[in-house]
């Protein structure tokens, strides 16, 4: 396998969007009351804002030149409340590998690259949110030693 | 048991803060890297802002005149993204019953009052976040039929 992990640029939007769409469709199918199935999940404007944000990095994985994975990771700090322990953390707001390129270790390489990014910027932890329906992703993250801190619960009202 | 559920006013801050502190201490003990053990968890200014917010309600439970429980609930809408299904939801940002008054059904009454509040305002669901360490609270919410939608995961970086 020949893969390269690079920092994304504006020209990568279309390819990244098609991977985002695959993941978003799974969400829209599992949680239709929260997510809508649409073609362009992330507006191009937002993608460019991420690229320009100095606290954020968009990484892409290329396999023989094609974009087959991406991650969005940003550096954050705990809010300045007396009740919170001051800490710096990396938040992975998006992560995906093209379905046809899964189960080849690409996600693992990309995740480790994100972890290095977080380490190099002095983050105390790498944090993320994942849908409870997405057992595949939860197992993937657990394999890196990630633990659940909190859960979001909901009660539909008839 | 004689309890009354009322809308809080400014004079209730001290009593509510002492209940918030009990819950916060449990968080600081379980997650010291995130929460700090302090006396006044919520500044009085923030409490007054909640009281004045038209989309928010602070409810208190009185047992023989003493404040033994409280809940903070607010009405929200999904962000106006094309990828999100428009929905109105009630978010319970805080909820607590004084330790010495637990296991008497007070929490159940208060939760049901919050649920009524959400129903009366046309919310599609009642949502909340709960710490994974807080098994007691998770069981309590599950007894009302609440389900986990997503989880926050973390990986400490050495």
- pLDDT tens across A137-146, in order? 999 999 999 9
CB contact under 8 A, B152 and A154: no
Is this structure's pTM higher than 0.90? yes
SS3 A126: strand
The alpha-carbon gap from B87 to the nearest alpha carbon of chain A, in Å, equals 8
Residues of chain B above pLDDT 70, percent: 99
Q: Which residue of B has its CA nearest to A118?
A: B157
Domains and CATH numbers, chain A: 3-143 (3.40.630.30)
* Two structure tokens written together for A20: 């985002």
Which residues on chain B are in Cβ contact (under 8 Å) with A129?
Answer: 150-153
Q: Does residue A1 have a pLDDT over 80?
A: no
Mean pLDDT, all residues of chain B: 94
Mean pLDDT, residues B54-60 taken together: 97
pLDDT-derived band at A40 (thresholds 50, 70, 90) equals: confident
CB contact under 8 A, B150 and A130: yes
Mean pLDDT, residues B79-89 taken together: 91
pLDDT-derived band at B40 (thresholds 50, 70, 90) equals: confident
The pLDDT value given to residue A42: 85
Q: Does residue B1 have a pLDDT over 80?
A: no
pLDDT-derived band at A44 (thresholds 50, 70, 90) equals: confident
Residues of chain A above pLDDT 90, percent: 85
The pLDDT value given to residue B124: 96
* Two structure tokens written together for A21: 């769409």
Kind of pairing between the strands at A125-131 and B147-156: antiparallel
Q: Are B85 and A31 in contact (CB under 8 A)?
A: no
* 3-state SS track over chain B: CCEEEEECCHHHHHHHHHHHHHHHHHHHHHCCCCECCCCCCCCHHHHHHHHHCCCEEEEEEEECCEEEEEEEEEEEECCCCCCECCCEEEEEEEEEECHHHCCCCHHHHHHHHHHHHHHHCCCCEEEEEEECCCHHHHHHHHCCCCEEEEEEEEEECC
d(CA A58, CA A40) in angstroms, rounded, equals 18
d(CA A60, CA A71) in angstroms, rounded, equals 7
pLDDT-derived band at B21 (thresholds 50, 70, 90) equals: very high
The alpha-carbon gap from B103 to the nearest alpha carbon of chain A, in Å, equals 22
Question: Higher confidence at residue B9 or residue B1?
Answer: B9
The answer to which of A52-61, A77-86, A135-144, B47-56 has the lowest mean pLDDT is A77-86
Question: Tell me: the pLDDT tens digits for B117-157?
Answer: 999 999 999 999 999 999 999 999 999 999 999 999 999 99
The alpha-carbon gap from B152 to the nearest alpha carbon of chain A, in Å, equals 4
Question: Tell me: the pLDDT tens digits for A54-69?
Answer: 999 999 999 999 999 9
Cα A4 to chain centroid distance, Å, stands at 18
Determine which of B32, B76, B126, B152 to mutate to test the interface with A (most A C-beta atoms within 10 Å): B152
């Amino acid at each position: 396998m020949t893969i390269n992990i690079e920092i994304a640029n504006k020209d990568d939007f279309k390819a990244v969007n098609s991977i985002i769409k695959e993941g978003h469709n799974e969400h829209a199918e599992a949680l239709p009351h929260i997510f809508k199935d649409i073609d362009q999940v992330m507006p191009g404007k937002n993608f460019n804002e991420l690229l320009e944000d100095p606290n954020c990095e968009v990484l892409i994985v290329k396999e023989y030149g094609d974009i087959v994975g991406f991650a969005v990771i940003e550096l954050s700090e705990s809010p300045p409340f007396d009740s919170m322990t001051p800490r710096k953390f990396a938040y992975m707001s998006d992560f995906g590998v093209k379905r046809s390129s899964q189960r080849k270790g690409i996600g693992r390489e990309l995740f480790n690259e994100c972890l290095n990014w977080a380490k190099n910027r002095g983050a105390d932890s790498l944090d993320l949110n994942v849908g409870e329906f997405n057992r595949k992703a939860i197992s993937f993250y657990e394999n890196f030693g990630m633990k659940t801190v909190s859960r979001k619960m909901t009660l539909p009202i008839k």
